[in-house]
């Protein structure tokens, strides 16, 4: 499978770059088609340590269960070094809420099926 991992400020943890291979491996394990950073929303409590919202899209034939989805958020938070608020457009994981609106300013960090990005 070809895939592109794009550069981003989020791909740094405590000043060290996170391996593009680690991001690609994470996405391959969970059959992720696309992983994107969503624009941060101000914290309701005024703090600067709010979770970073991210959007994940899956291969439609391999959507994980709810527990695997929750574990993905924990694993991604550990990899990125900050809390991740993982969102998805997969109907099976969204429950009874309406469709997810994707705001402008969304930045892709992984896309399956794209030519590999420069390291």
Q: How confident is the model at residue 29 (pLDDT cuts 50, 70, 90)?
A: very high
pLDDT of residue 119: 41
Q: Hey, what CATH topology would domain 3-95+103-112 get?
A: Beta Polymerase; domain 2 (3.30.460)
pLDDT of residue 105: 75
pLDDT tens track for 56-84: 999 889 999 989 999 999 999 888 888 88
pTM, full prediction: 0.74
pLDDT surpassing 70 at residue 111: yes
pLDDT surpassing 90 at residue 2: no
Domain ranges of the chain: 3-95+103-112
* Beta strands, E only, the chain: 3-5, 12-13, 16-17, 32-37, 52-58, 84-88, 107-112
């Amino acid at each position: 499978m070809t895939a592109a991992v794009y550069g981003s400020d989020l791909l740094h943890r405590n000043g060290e770059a996170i391996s593009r291979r680690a991001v690609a491996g994470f996405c391959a394990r969970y059959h992720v088609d696309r992983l994107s950073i969503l624009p941060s929303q101000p914290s309701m409590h005024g703090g600067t340590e709010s979770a970073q919202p991210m959007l994940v899209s899956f291969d439609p034939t391999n959507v994980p269960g709810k527990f695997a989805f929750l574990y993905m958020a924990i694993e991604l938070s550990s990899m990125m070094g900050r809390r991740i608020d993982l969102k998805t457009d997969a109907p099976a994981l969204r429950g009874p809420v309406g469709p997810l609106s994707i705001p402008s300013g969304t930045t892709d960090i992984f896309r399956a099926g794209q030519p590999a990005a420069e390291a």
